[in-house]
Amino acid sequence: MRAIKNITILTTGRRSEVKDLIDIFNSGTRCRVNLVIADRPMTADAAAAESAGVATAEISAQALNADPEGAAKLLRDYDTALLV
């Protein structure tokens, strides 16, 4: 049996399809969304992720530019195989 691949979704929280992606990927056995990163607090996408039991984080564009290694560490911490 193959290990489940973890997917991290980056979102601006502006009516993206995060909930649909979580529903599609988390219903299978080969991959799952395990982290949603929004660029600002309290987005609809972050709320959808939390209601589905998916971890969330906030990283602004400024923070990403200032500390790209911090973002890379977060992706490693969540064993991200695919970034969407």
What's the pLDDT tens digit per position in 32-52? 999 999 998 888 899 999 999
CA 53 to chain centre: 12
First-to-last alpha carbon distance for the chain, in angstroms, is 24
pLDDT bracket for residue 7 (50, 70, 90): very high
In the chain, domain spans: 5-83
CA 68 to chain centre: 16
Report the predicted TM-score, pTM, of the whole model to 2 decimal places. Answer: 0.90
Domain over 5-83 is classified CATH 3.40.50.300 = no
72 burial via Cβ count (<10 Å: 0-12, 13-18, 19+): exposed
Is the separation of the CB atoms in 2 and 30 below 8 Å?
yes
